[in-house]
Structure 1
Amino acid sequence: MTADDLEEAVRLAVETLGRAPADAWDGKAGTLEWTCWETAEHLADDLFAYAVQLGLTTPPLDDYVPFALESRRPGGPKNTVHADREAGPAGLMQVLQTSGALLAAMVRTAPPDARAHHVFGPADAESSAAMGLVETLVHVHDIAEGLGLTWAPPAGLCARVLDRIFPDAPRAADPWTALLWATGRAELPGRPRLTKWRWYNDPASYPS
């Protein structure tokens, strides 16, 4: 998993979501309880958070960097990053793109021993890129579903994410469908839809 992979995913995300009508963003994002706008802000916030967490020279591996979090409505996502509604969807896409660029830059420049705190285990630069890819691929799926857009990310990106942080996901299935299954968004033949799921940042913690 590389910064180039992350940049490709964010570029495709912005291109896809940029085709949505300006008045469609307040509808629900797929099966989530958030709106499409809120989910895009949440995605930008994830990318920002992974970047800043990786930037600590002495990371607190038991906690997150204490940026203030705010939900703009009851039940909405708690984010540090919010887009100015007056800037419209084009401004929202700028916020998303720059958050992705920040994480890509940190992935490129982080020293080999850098580790970022996460509930799914300490993340090095490669797993931080993989986390950003998971967030991008699946949340754009949610948003695109709500906006009535088609989102079909490259199979190679999906396969590399599965290989890096989803060691227990099926490999015989289509990689995109397998990633949706691994994140509780799809069923696979012979496998029920997951109601709880996780990834593994550290290869040493992969289930046997």
Structure 2
Amino acid sequence: MPDTPPAGPVTAADVELSVALALDTLGRAGSADWSVPAGPLEWDCWETTEHLADDLFCYAAQLTTARPQLDGHIPFELTSRRPGGPRNAIAADRAGGTAALLRVLDAGGGLLAAVVRATPAERRGYHPYGVSDPEGFAAMGVVEVLVHLDDLARGLGLGWTPPAGLCARVLARLFPDAPTGTEPWPTLLWATGRGELPGRPRLTAWRWDGRPRGR
């Protein structure tokens, strides 16, 4: 059995760590072609990074309203730049190149971390995978960063392996039924339909459980 780090609460610092790792990794892409597909996705690498930044921004927004409504997303207008592309509330200025794109990603992560840090634990926000709390939205943001960075790393030809402890914390928070006797990063990829585990079929459909865990 692997030496899996003990899981603990997912925090704003975990959001900051995951985004910092993403920025460092993507910063090594150099002159790579960001118009290629991001790993197994139909979106290209630029679109996938925009989608990731948009997720972080929207997760933060779900926790900020003075009168939370738990029956739907905040009704931002979502637009797609092309048929089949991601529908986002925010987008990066393409004239600024990948430097601008990574600044938008950095800002999305900063917003989510700041909101999670400042929001009372009893606050709730809507998500279709379960009405959640600040820790849950932090964990969702981290999962989005980790798995989409894996997609991007495949598309851009980059090496990428996140810290085991970070993976273990989000698995415990969002995937309580995931195996615990396996390495955290391969397990997270398996839980999100991106990888295989010995003795377990590859998932063709998946979802996390964002409901609070009673902490």
Q: TM-score range by the shorter chain?
A: over 0.9
CA RMSD of aligned residues (A): 1.1
1:31 aligns with 2:40: yes
In structure 2, which of residues 164, 181, 186 is the aligned counterpart of residue 177 of structure 1?
186
Give CA-to-partner distance per residue, 1:53-102, whole Å, 9 cap, x none. 11112211011101110000000000011101111111111000010000
Q: 2:165 matched to 1:156?
A: yes
Aligned residue number for residue 98 of structure 1: 107
Structure 1: segments with no counterpart, 5+ residues: none
Mapping 1:4-83, distance limit 5 Å: 4-83=13-92
Q: Secondary structure at the match of 2:28?
A: coil
Is the contact between residue 22 and residue 89 of structure 1 (CA under 8 Å) also seen in structure 2?
Answer: no
Aligned partner of residue 159 in structure 1, secondary structure: helix
CA distance in 2, matches of 1:2, 1:14: 19
Paired residue type of 1:112: A
The superposition leaves residues 140-180 of structure 1 with CA deviations (integer Å, 9 ceiling, x where unpaired) of: 00011000001100000000000111001111111000000
Task: List gaps (5 residues or longer) in structure 2.
Answer: 1-9
Cα distance change of structure 1 residues 65 and 81 upon mapping to structure 2, 3 Å threshold = same
8 Å CA contact 2:33–2:156 kept in 1: the answer is yes
Partner Cα distance (2:212, 2:67) in 1: 22
State the alpha-carbon separation in 1 of the partners of residues 129 and 96 from structure 2.
35
Distance (Å, rounded) in 1 between the aligned partners of 2:33 and 2:136 = 33
* Structure with greater contact order relative to length (CA < 8 Å, sep ≥ 6): 2
Aligned to 1:144: 153
CA distance in 1, matches of 2:138, 2:169: 11
Q: TM-score, normalised by structure 1?
A: 0.96
Query: Distance in 1 between the 2:210 and 2:75 partners?
Result: 21
- Is the partner of 1:51 in helix, strand or coil? helix
Taking the aligned partners of 1:71 and 1:127, their CA distance within structure 2 comes to 27
The AA in structure 2 aligned to 1:190 is G
Tell me the distance in 1 between the aligned counterparts of 2:127 and 2:87.
17
User: What SS does the corresponding residue of 2:29 show, helix, strand or coil?
Assistant: coil
Equivalent position of 1:133 in the other structure: 142
User: Which of the residues 188, 195, 199 maps onto 2:197?
Assistant: 188
SS of aligned partner of 2:37: coil
Following the alignment from structure 2 to structure 1, what is the Cα–Cα distance between the partners of residues 190 and 74?
30
Do the aligned residues in 2 keep the contact of 1:184 with 1:195 (CA within 8 Å)? Answer: yes
Partner-residue secondary structure (3-state), 2:141: helix
Find out whether 1:109 has 2:129 as its counterpart.
no
TM-score, scaled to structure 2: 0.93
4+ long deviations beyond 2 Å: none
Contact persistence 1:62–1:117 (CA under 8 A): yes
